[in-house]
């Protein structure tokens, strides 16, 4: 890079450099967003100070601070406060509304002679929507009060495979295939409950996407592939489906922001919670496939979405090896 014009290397600096030269103190500062080598969006705080001697410019000092995670943490803290307030205000009246609707149905359904079906449909609608709102409020609460991770040595692949078997049974119209390429003695230091929650969220997203695709094309056979593999000291859990997939408007940084959703009934908290869990585990959430996933043995593109969780691997203690 030595000897090159800085604006040819980093074109976004042109505006900031111009501002620095125009200001009396010859100092300018600005946030610049750009994509890194792996396609991840990064935010830099750029500061330029022009060096002047005897009113002559002798170059400039440019500093870069990566504030991506700082901004993300600030937004999450603000949204957590919003979620806490929403959960508090909405949750209190939900139970009496539901109990009142159920009581009306039990007490008066048998007494209504004219159009009882409409009465039953209306009370059932109230009960169903109160239940939907209750689940949404629970997501608000989960996001606002995400507990601190309690780390233990866990044979997590075994636990997650048990969850996937139940998910396969609960969604019999969609085939969930498990491909395990890991060593049976593999252990990961993690909070097992939180990792289970993260995987359950991702599987539910895949199921919802496949369901939407099947509504528009009844000939499609729903499929979700889950691959467990090890790569560069990490456990990789890759979930791929043949659902709607991600469109060009769905940017990774947007999908993991709180309350950003492209689903008709989504709250926009599922992936935000998953990202928070992975951050607490020194891991990563990756949306979409890239070269790190495409070369994994056992992975194939199903035409829908691909999401991966990456967790650092720990060696299994001797006592766990004996009981495994």
Cβ neighbours of residue 43 closer than 8 Å, sequence gap 6 or more: 31, 32, 33, 66, 67, 68, 71
In Å, what is the CA distance from 232 to each residue of 90, 153, 312, 317? 46, 19, 9, 20
Per-residue pLDDT at 320: 43
Q: Which two tokens stand for residue 42?
A: 């990064």
Residue pair 83/140 in contact (Cβ under 8 Å)? The answer is yes
Residue pair 13/6 in contact (Cβ under 8 Å)? The answer is yes
Per-residue pLDDT at 69: 76
Per-residue pLDDT at 96: 86
Per-residue pLDDT at 9: 82
Q: Half-sphere exposure (CA, 13 Å, Cβ side) for 311?
A: 32
Q: Which two tokens stand for residue 6?
A: 């800085």
Per-residue pLDDT at 225: 95
Encode pLDDT of 172-190 as tens digits: 899 999 999 999 889 899 9
Residue pair 305/240 in contact (Cβ under 8 Å)? The answer is yes
Residues in the chain with pLDDT values less than 70:
36-40, 83, 88-89, 139-147, 247-269, 314-324
Encode pLDDT of 281-293 as tens digits: 989 888 887 777 8
Per-residue pLDDT at 141: 67
């Amino acid at each position: 890079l030595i000897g090159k014009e800085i604006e040819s290397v980093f074109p976004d600096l042109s505006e900031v450099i111009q501002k620095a030269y125009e200001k009396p103190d010859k100092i300018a500062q600005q946030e610049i967003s750009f994509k890194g080598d792996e396609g991840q969006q990064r935010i830099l705080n750029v500061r330029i100070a022009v060096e002047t001697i005897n009113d002559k410019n002798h170059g400039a000092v440019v500093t870069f601070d990566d504030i991506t995670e700082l901004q993300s943490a600030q937004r999450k803290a603000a949204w957590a406060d919003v979620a806490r307030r929403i959960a508090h205000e909405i949750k209190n009246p939900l139970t009496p509304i539901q109990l009142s609707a159920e009581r009306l149905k039990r007490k008066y359904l048998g007494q209504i002679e004219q159009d009882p079906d409409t009465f039953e449909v209306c009370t059932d609608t109230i009960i169903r929507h109160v239940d939907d709102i209750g689940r949404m409020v629970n997501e608000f609460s989960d996001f606002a009060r995400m507990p601190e991770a309690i780390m233990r040595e866990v044979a997590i692949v075994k636990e997650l495979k048990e969850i996937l078997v139940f998910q396969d049974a609960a969604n019999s119209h969609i085939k969930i295939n498990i491909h395990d390429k890991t060593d049976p003695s593999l252990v990961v230091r993690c909070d097992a409950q939180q990792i289970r929650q993260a995987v359950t969220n991702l599987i539910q997203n895949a199921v919802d996407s496949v369901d939407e695709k099947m509504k528009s094309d009844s000939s499609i056979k729903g499929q979700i592939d889950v691959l467990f593999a090890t790569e560069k000291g990490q456990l990789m859990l890759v979930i791929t489906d043949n659902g709607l997939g991600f469109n060009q408007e769905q940017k990774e940084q947007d999908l993991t922001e709180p309350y950003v959703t492209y689903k008709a009934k989504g709250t926009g908290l599922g992936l935000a919670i998953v990202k928070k869990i992975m951050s607490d585990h020194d891991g990563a959430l990756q949306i979409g496939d890239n070269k790190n996933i495409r070369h994994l043995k056992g992975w194939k593109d199903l035409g829908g979405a691909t999401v991966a969780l990456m967790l650092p691997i720990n060696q299994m203690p001797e006592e766990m090896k004996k009981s495994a």
